[in-house]
Amino acid sequence: MSNAVELRSLSKSFEKVKALDDVSFDVAEGELFGLVGPDGAGKTTLFRILTTLLVPDKGSATVCGLDVVKDLWAIRSRVGYMPGGFALYPDLSVAENLEFFAAVFGTTVEKGYELIAPIYRQIEPFKDRRAEALSGGMKQKLALSCALVHRPDILLLDEPTTGVDAVSRREFWDQLGNLKASGLTIVVSTPYMDEALRCDRVALIHSGKILEIDPPGAVGRRYPLPLLSVTGGERFELLRALREFPEAHAVYLFGDELHYTDKRAEVSAQAIAAEVQEYLAQRGHTDAQVAPISAGIEDSFMELMGGAPPPTAAAA
């Protein structure tokens, strides 16, 4: 199988900000590929390079085997792009928006109908309503229909579920699953972890750097710091005590247990577990169970969204 997207040492800066810093990865044809990272991580810049809107400072990128700098017009008719914040015309009706984008991409709604039908049919009853009067979920469906109507080879979606209710988000991802099943390559960015879990592979991105690319189940393998699970006793008391521990990097509640990350990458998790156990006993939490664990996607996700970049993150 050939690659739908190939990025090689891609860098892009705006004045003093490095939006992308030496980014390289491939997306296989037919893959549902997720980009996960906080605001300002460089996701939008990456999409704009893939859609030929921006030229990289360094490195190269191909989409469908076409160079994003040289083959600008060839790429444009083959990608379906949904920028952040649904680019629709609020004063045009649902049908008018769709017809306009179909015409602009040199096709008609009829020709693209088969592909968009599962999505568009849900908003078709409101086709005479102006786009400004639609709910977030309906706007999202309309924007996706507009991006799909010319039957693109690859779908590029920049945070398509931001500002959309939970039910609509789930429906939207069901639709993406169907589109993927039909063979479409999809690159999508998201700030939500439950959505990241539905991708074939996920790239964690922070400050313009790719930290890790893995299937969602394997994300966490490259977690850079010792991680402990702590259970037993009153959870909020434990949380407070652990956060006051001088070597604590981060402590989060995960259901019944607490996940504790230590600052010291060089000390073994076993040694730290013993140390934490002793500290908790001193604070009166004698029944606390402390054990080293390996990180899952949740831990990586919390680490990523938590703000400061992980200290010894290894580029994938």
Partner 1 sequence: MNLNALRAFVVKELHHILRDRQTLTVLLMMPLVQVILFGYALRSDVRDIRMAIVDPTPDNATLELQSRFLSTMRFRIVATGQSTDIIEPLFRRDKADVALVFDPDFASHLRGTEPARLLIAIDASDPNTGTTYLNYTRAVIQAYQAELSAGSNQVRIVTETRMRFNPTLESVNLFVPGLIALVLVLVSALMTAISLSREKERGTMEVLLVSPLRPQQIIVGKVLPYLVLAFANVLTALLAAWAVFHVPFRGSVVLLLLESILYTLVSLALGVLVAAKTASQRAAMLTAMLATMLPNALLSGMIFPIASMPRWLLPVTYVVPARWFIVIARGIMLKGVGLGILWRETLVLSAMALLLLVAAMRSFKPRME
Among 30, 38, 65, 84, binds partner 1 (CB under 8 A): 84
**Taking CB under 8 A as the rule, does residue 284 contact partner 1?**
no
- Identify the CA nearest to 57 among candidates 18, 84, 29, 28: 18
Comparing CB distances to partner 1, the nearer of 103 and 274 is 103
One-letter amino acid of 150: H
**Taking CB under 8 A as the rule, does residue 87 contact partner 1?**
yes
- Strands of 3-14's sheet, edge to edge? 17-28, 3-14, 58-63, 66-67
3-class SS at 243? helix
Comparing CB distances to partner 1, the nearer of 151 and 170 is 151
**Taking CB under 8 A as the rule, does residue 236 contact partner 1?**
no
Distance between start and end Cα atoms, the chain: 22
Among 25, 35, 62, 81, binds partner 1 (CB under 8 A): 81
> What is the CA 62 to chain-centroid distance, rounded?
20
Comparing CB distances to partner 1, the nearer of 32 and 54 is 54
**Taking CB under 8 A as the rule, does residue 110 contact partner 1?**
no
Among 22, 29, 67, 96, binds partner 1 (CB under 8 A): 96
- Tell me the C-alpha distance between 210 and 205, whole Å: 4
CA angle 309, 23, 293 (to 5 degrees): 45
Structure tokens at 109: 């709604």
The phi and psi torsions of 14 (rounded to 5 degrees) equal -120, 115
Among 40, 90, 177, 215, binds partner 1 (CB under 8 A): 90
Among 17, 55, 181, 281, binds partner 1 (CB under 8 A): 55
Q: Give least dist CB 282 to partner 1, A.
A: 56
Comparing CB distances to partner 1, the nearer of 18 and 283 is 18
The site map against partner 1 for 132-161 (x = CB under 8 A) is: --------------xx--------------
- Tell me the C-alpha distance between 169 and 179, whole Å: 15
**Taking CB under 8 A as the rule, does residue 220 contact partner 1?**
no
What is residue 218's DSSP assignment? G
> What is the CA 117 to chain-centroid distance, rounded?
26
**Choices 24-32, 50-58, 273-281, 299-307 (CB under 8 A): range interacting with partner 1:** 50-58
- Tell me the C-alpha distance between 248 and 282, whole Å: 16
Strand 154-157 to 17-28 pairing: unpaired
**Are 144 and 184 within 8 A, CB to CB?**
no
**Taking CB under 8 A as the rule, does residue 48 contact partner 1?**
yes
Among 24, 59, 72, 252, binds partner 1 (CB under 8 A): 72
Comparing CB distances to partner 1, the nearer of 55 and 274 is 55
**Taking CB under 8 A as the rule, does residue 175 contact partner 1?**
no
Q: Which residues bind partner 1 (CB under 8 A)?
A: 48, 51-55, 72-73, 76-77, 79, 81, 83-92, 96, 99-101, 103-106, 146-147
